[in-house]
Structure formats: structure tokens, C-alpha cells
Structure 1
Amino acid sequence: MVTPGESPHEDPGPEVDVDREMTVDELAARVGVTVRNLRAYSARGLLPPPRMVGRTGFYGREHVTRLVLVREMLAEGYSLAMIERTLASAPVNASTATLALHRALLAPWLPSEPEVITGAELATRAGVPEDPALVDRLVELGLVRRLGDGDLEVRDPALLAAGLQVVGLGVPPDALIDAQTRVNEHVRAIAQTYVQMFVATGWQAFVDAGAPADRLETVLDTVSRLQPVAAQAVLAAFRTEMAAAVEAAVETALSQLQGE
């Protein structure tokens, strides 16, 4: 793993001017990728756009840095979709060290690999008629993304699978989406609470110290352990609150029956 202050690529040597702008062919040769792959990476937004002069794009140091990071992540087993999500919120002009730290901190929290299905397949799995309006609501919720030609990218297949199970219990999809929208708001607040706690108790001191390499592993270990601990705490609290809510609902229902 690359640590702050280290460079993930080899020294280009004294004959290579790393600050000289390059064409797409020169960039591909410089980093050791095919032009076809380079264009594919650009199409997915993995590279910042080049400086255009007429119809010719020119690339610089930041493109070399980003391409090397993409190659490293591919070598570590990341898919292009995972790399895309990891880098989506990274600053375009971030340094190599910053990108590596961003990757290490964000990766444990990303959902599973996206799934591509059609609207018809989604409707079949939900046991309901195909409904573009329903898909529109899922897009607004952020659960799916339209890819064109009727294809949908399910961003969190685990969440979709859970939702389909709820629909299988007889809950109408629209009612479930309404409920999930409210749940997402509460979950967002919970996530912010835990992140603020982490920032206040560990991260800020690390940043104030200049992100020293000898403390990076400790920070990364804390991040990786925070996820399961936070999930367990939230689940335990949810079970307690769910039991209380069910009890109250049952008592209300029984009171209504007795009143009849």
C-alpha cells in the first residue's frame, strides 16, 4: 500500500519531462496502457478531462498520477466500477498520497459490486407489472441508475434484495419506497454521528500532525474496525426500538379489538 510521501510509480528517469504535456498516444506509452483502455478509463470518469487545443487533447502530470493509481487498484483486484465509485469524490488535482489515503479510507465502506438488470427483470423479481414511474422513484432514491437501452445499474444489490423480500411479504413497492426514503434520512444522521465522533477523536489529530506515515496504519485499522462495531451498535439499538414499537402497535390493536 502506498503511504503519504511515497510515489506509486517508478522514477521516469532523467530523460522524461513529467511536466511536459502529452497526447493520448504519448500518455498511454508513458504509463504502459493501451490507448483503448485509456479511452475506456476516461469514458468512466476515472481521468480528469484533458486540455483541448482544437480536437487534440493534452495530458499532464495529474493524468499520469491518476492512471498509475487506477492500474494499482486493478492489480489489487478492484473492478472498474469499484474504482469509479472510490474516485468519484476524490479531488481532481489530489496528490498521489492523498488519492492513496482516500482509497484506503473509503474502500471498506463501499457497497458490493453494482448489478446491471433491465426494468423488466426488476419488475419480474418484484412480482409487479413493469412501471417506469416506479423506476423513476428508485432513481431519485439513489438505488438505481439508468444506463440506456432499458438497462439499470443497481448500486447496492444487497439493499435491493432486502427490499424485494419486503415486497414479497405483501408490502406495495410505493409504500416501501416511502418508508425507505425516511429510513435513509435517519441512517444518514446516524452515519454523520459516527463519522463526527471518529473525526473528533482520531482523524483530526492525524491531519493536524501532517498525516505521518507511522500513524497511518493505526488510522486505517480504526476505520476498518469502526464499520462492524458501528453496525453492531446500530443493529442492537434497532432491535430494542423495534421491540418497543411492535409492543406498542400490538397493544393498540388489541385495545381496538376489545373495544369492538
Structure 2
Amino acid sequence: MAANETPQDEPARPPESGRPGREFRMAELAAEAGVTVRTLRFYRERKLIPPPRREGRIAWYNDHHLARLRTIGALLERGHTLGGIGELLAAFDAGRDVGELLGLQTPLLPPWSEETPVRLTPEQLADHFSQDVTAENLTASLDLGYLAVDGDEFVHISRRLLDASTELVHRGIPLAAVLEAGRTVRAHADALADVFTTLIRTHLLADILERPGTADLPGPQEVDHIARTIEKLRPLSKGVVEAELSMAMDRRVRTELETWLREQGDRDCPGERDRRADEEGPADAP
């Protein structure tokens, strides 16, 4: 037992004012998480769990520590090493720090996208991507904004993107390659969004948005007009992008197929000509 912890156990106690969740002594936390006190100390020494709150000589742990221990156990069951788990948890905590720093902002206009966020525990994320859940991929996902950290969970910004990424990984494409492709798609999508916003700003809202000076800021009616204009153009822009992408995929697939067939023909034609020559026999002399 650590020298700075009292030997007697005390029951978990309800939170004090301003301190959310239950609090546990070390032995009780270990029992709740299904690990030994020795294992708990080892995790703490490896910095896999954050330090407890000190109250004199007593160390108090909370629900966050319990969730972290359960995450470690779940990842170990899925084949992750303690070293890899440590890197994942460091990236997780870094993502949470950034999220808390940035905070949430109330948008002026309703969101353009219609995506449904998905809440995931770290072990659920591992179920989606198995051994591809690494510190590098987690950091890339946080950097791209696909994932955010909320408490002891992740929030993925889009059910559709999560499902697509999961399917691609299950089909054999490494998650790192999927994320790199996502970064490229994001850049092109931003460029497309710039095209449409420039059209709207230049031709539909110039009289409001490009007034000189800041004294005549848009009033409530003008803000409502901006919102309604953008909302009406939402399906048009999405339809244009979907149609152009569909036609571009058709062109690209057709080009790739024609190139492959031509290359196959270049390899096969000499043999095919020889086979036909043998079947036809020597040409008659004149």
C-alpha cells in the first residue's frame, strides 16, 4: 500500500457540490472496475489513468477513472498493447483539451449539412476499426474534425462518413489511406463550397453583404432573408455536386477500364496472332 494512503476502505461517496459523479477509494475503484489494486497502481505509474484527487492522505478517484479503466480493459481484450493504449489515451486527452479550449459556438444560420453525429466509447471505436485504431490515426481523425472528444467518449460528426469509413476498412483499405483520401475530399469540397458561396455573395446578396463600412450591419429581416436564400439554394447546390460527381465517376471508371483493356490487349495480341497463325497453317504460295 502506498505510504500516503490510509489502509482502511471507505465507501464510495456522492459528489460534493460542484464535483460531478461518484468518488471511490483505490480498493473500491479496483473492485468496481474488475482489476486488482496492484494493477490499478501499475496503470497509475504508467500514467494510463490521471492522478486522483487528494484530500489529506486520502486519494479519491471518480467515474472518469472508472471509465478509463474499463476502456483499458476493453482495448486489451481487443489485442491492443499497453504501449499502444497509452499512445491512444494521450491522443484522446489531447483531443479533449482542444475541444474544451475551443468550446461550442451558436451558429448564426442553421447548419447546411444534414449529418447525424454518433457517440462512441473508445472500445466501440475499436470495434469499428480494430487494429487500425492507432494514436496516429486518432490524431488525424481529430485534426480532420471527424472525431471530437466529449468527456470519456468520442463524437463522430457523421453517421454516413463513419459507416463509409468502416466499410472501406473492412474491405481491406487501411484506415490511414481512408483518412488521407478524406483529407483530399475535404479540400475539394471546400473549393466547391467556395464556388457556391461566391455565386451567392456576388449575385444574390451583394447589396446586403458588401455595403461599405460597418455602421449598416444587416438587421433581423435581412439576416432572415440571407438564411432563407441560402436554405433555398441548398438542394440546388447538392444536386449539382452529386450530378457532376456521378458523371465524373462514370468518365473515370470508363477511362480506367479502357486503359486496362488496352494494356491487356497489348499483352495478349502477340500470342493470339501466333495461335491463329498456327491454326490457319502456312499461306499458299502464289
TM-score range, shorter chain: 0.5 to 0.7
Q: Alignment partner of 1:109: what SS?
A: coil
Q: Alignment partner of 2:120: what SS?
A: strand
Listed as ranges, the gaps of 5+ residues in structure 2 are 1-17, 19-102, 268-286
Return the offset for 1:129: 5.0
1:137 aligns with 140
Q: Is residue 2:103 matched to residue 1:124?
A: no
Q: Which of 166, 169, 180 pairs up with 1:167?
A: 169
Matched ranges for 1:223-242 at <5 A:
223-242=230-249
Cα deviation code 1:157-207 (max 9, x no counterpart): 332222222223332211111111111111111001111111112223124
Q: In the superposition, relative to structure 1, how do residues 202 and 170 fare at CA in structure 2: closer, same or farther (>3 Å)?
A: same
Aligned residue-pair number: 162
Q: 2:219 & 2:133 partners in 1: Cα distance?
A: 54
1:108 aligns with 111
Q: 1:221 & 1:131 partners in 2: Cα distance?
A: 43
- The question of whether the paired residues in 2 share the 8 Å contact of 1:116 and 1:154 is answered with yes
Q: Is residue 2:152 matched to residue 1:153?
A: no
Q: 2:141 & 2:221 partners in 1: Cα distance?
A: 44
Q: 1:173 & 1:165 partners in 2: Cα distance?
A: 10
Q: Which of 186, 189, 207 pairs up with 2:188?
A: 186
Q: Could you tell me the TM-score, scaled by structure 2's length?
A: 0.50
Q: Alignment partner of 2:142: what SS?
A: helix
1:258 aligns with 265
Q: 1:145 & 1:216 partners in 2: Cα distance?
A: 30
4+ runs deviating over 4 angstroms: 212-217
Listed as ranges, the gaps of 5+ residues in structure 1 are 1-35, 37-83, 88-101
Q: Is residue 2:205 matched to residue 1:203?
A: yes
- Name the structure, 1 or 2, with higher relative contact order (CA <8 Å, separation 6+): 1
- The question of whether the paired residues in 1 share the 8 Å contact of 2:129 and 2:166 is answered with yes
Q: 1:135 & 1:227 partners in 2: Cα distance?
A: 32
1:15 aligns with none
1:221 aligns with 228
Q: 1:240 & 1:135 partners in 2: Cα distance?
A: 34
Cα deviation code 1:5-26 (max 9, x no counterpart): xxxxxxxxxxxxxxxxxxxxxx
Identity %: 20
Q: Alignment partner of 2:111: what SS?
A: helix
Matched ranges for 1:41-80 at <5 A:
none
- The question of whether the paired residues in 2 share the 8 Å contact of 1:194 and 1:230 is answered with yes
Code of the aligned partner of 1:232: G
Q: 2:224 & 2:173 partners in 1: Cα distance?
A: 45
- The question of whether the paired residues in 2 share the 8 Å contact of 1:114 and 1:157 is answered with yes
Code of the aligned partner of 1:134: N
Q: Alignment partner of 1:108: what SS?
A: coil
Instruction: Compare CA radii of gyration and give the structure with the larger one.
Output: 2
Q: Is residue 2:255 matched to residue 1:248?
A: yes
